[in-house]
Amino acid sequence: MPIKAIEWLDNRVKILDQTRLPQEEVYLELSHHQSIASAITELKIRGAPAIGIVGAYAVALGALKIEAEQRDEFLARLRIIIHTIAATRPTARNLFLAIDRMQKVAEAGEDIEQIRAALVSEAVKIHSEEADATRKLSQLGAGLIQDGFTILTHCNTGALATAGYGTALGVIKQAKEQGKNIKVLATETRPLLQGARLTAWELKKANIPVTLITDSMAGYFMSRGKVDCVIVGADRIAANGDTANKIGTYSLAVLAKENGIPFYVAAPTTTIDLSLASGDEIPIEQRSQEEVTHIQGVSIAPEGVEALNPAFDVTPHRYITAIITERGIIKEPYVEGIKGSNPR
Ligand code: MRU
């Protein structure tokens, strides 16, 4: 059974609660934009493409519930809903692109009923476009994977994170479907263990051999020739190729370069933000200290100790061997290649 991270059910959206995995497969049916906003903030639904899709559905659901007689009043209330969704998580480009699209569709509409219908179909379109893009980029990226490769990946970038085929994990799944004999080293991905909980779960479901390592073991395995390439996803890619992804990605990229191992980023072009010249401008989400001082609710540090929790880091483009998108594989010089991929 394919994993359905997000499903549109006309007047509600069904999501698989990722905070309960791998112990339990619990689905939530949400019909209010505010409950979707909370689900995004709490990482019940997460991953850049997935939060773009669910953010668009949240705007559509919000619009279905607005009680207004006049178009102007309706649009004013819709702007507040869009603002609520935008305030959930700051780093993933896909969220802002999706809700900008929803805003434009609403403003182009003539009357309230027509706007509501247009918003629902735009959200469905965003979902299907994101899913198609991940399938295409996975097919392109699989060409970089050779038979017998051991691939190191970080965080979770599969069906759960994309509500589609996957980005880095999509490339891995596609290589396996092509009959390549591959193995995966998955980093556990502290603090919230997306690698241990979600990537290991998805790969086991797909019958792809996976071995879990702690984040701090990556250099050990790379220096001993046990890693043939690294593939990660992305939350936002600046115009020069600098890439924000889950905290720890930058360290992996530096280690990969030091050890002569190719380092690939896989992402749909909806993750590219041409308005940012470099990664220095990418907003980095700071999350709660408790995510560091506790593991799944259990305290692992002395009471009251200070902790820091940036959720993402930025990998400078000079560490990236190639960026795999649905419109092609981009290499240095990134400024030209990224512009040529024609992102929105
Ligand atoms: O904080 P998360 O779990 O939403 O972070 C997700 C990642 O960093 C993924 O690697 C990224 O969204 C790319 S996934 C398609």
Question: Closest ligand 1 atom, CA of 194?
Answer: 3
For ligand 1, what atom is nearest to the CA of residue 232? 10
pLDDT of residue 2: 86
Catalytic residue among 10, 17, 132, 235: 235
**Nearest atom in ligand 1 to 192's CA:** 3
> Ligand 1 centre and the CA of 67: distance in Å?
35
Report CA(207)–ligand 1 centroid distance (Å).
Answer: 22
Q: Does the active-site annotation cover 235?
A: yes
Q: Which ligand 1 atom sits closest to the C-alpha of 234?
A: 13
**In the structure, which protein residues have their CB atom closer than 6 angstroms to any atom of ligand 1?**
43, 46-49, 92, 155, 157, 161-162, 167, 194, 233-235, 245-246, 311
Total Cβ atoms within 10 A of residue 105: 20
**Strand-strand pairing, 183-187 and 150-153:** parallel
Burial call 269-301: b when 16+ CB within 10 Å, e when fewer: bbbbbbebeebeebebbebeeeebbeeeeeeee
What distance lies between CA 259 and its chain's CA centroid? 27
Q: Count Cβ atoms within 10 A of the Cβ of residue 179 and give its class: 0-12 exposed, 13-18 middle, 19 or more buried.
A: exposed
Q: Would you tell me how many other CB atoms lie within 10 Å of the CB of residue 39?
A: 23
CA 245 to centroid of ligand 1, rounded, Å: 6
| Per-residue b or e along 55-68, where b marks 16 or more CB atoms closer than 10 Å to that residue's CB | bbbbbbbbbbebee
Coil, helix or strand at residue 319: helix
User: How many A from CA of 234 to the centre of ligand 1?
Assistant: 7
- The C-alpha atoms of residue 315 and residue 41 are separated, in whole angstroms, by 24
Global pTM reads: 0.98
Measured in whole angstroms, the distance separating CA 230 from the mean position of its chain's CA atoms is: 17
The confidence score (pLDDT) of residue 327 equals 97
Ligand 1 centroid to Cα of residue 333, in Å, is 25
Long-range contacts of 74-82 (CB under 8 A, 24+ apart): 74/112, 74/115, 75/106, 75/107, 75/115, 78/103, 78/106, 78/115, 79/103, 81/33
Give just the sign of the alpha carbon dihedral 272, 274, 278, 279: negative
Output the pLDDT for position 279. 98
237: phi then psi, degrees, rounded to nearest 5: -120, 125
Rounded Cα–Cα distance for residues 105 and 116 (Å): 10
Enumerate residue ranges in the chain where pLDDT < 50: none
CA 248 to chain centre: 15
In this prediction, residue 82 carries a pLDDT of: 98
User: Would you list the DSSP string of 38-95?
Assistant: HHHHTTSS-SHHHHHHHHHHHHHHHHHH---SSHHHHHHHHHHHHHHHHTS-SS-HHH
Write the residue with the smallest CA distance to atom 14 of ligand 1.
Answer: 157
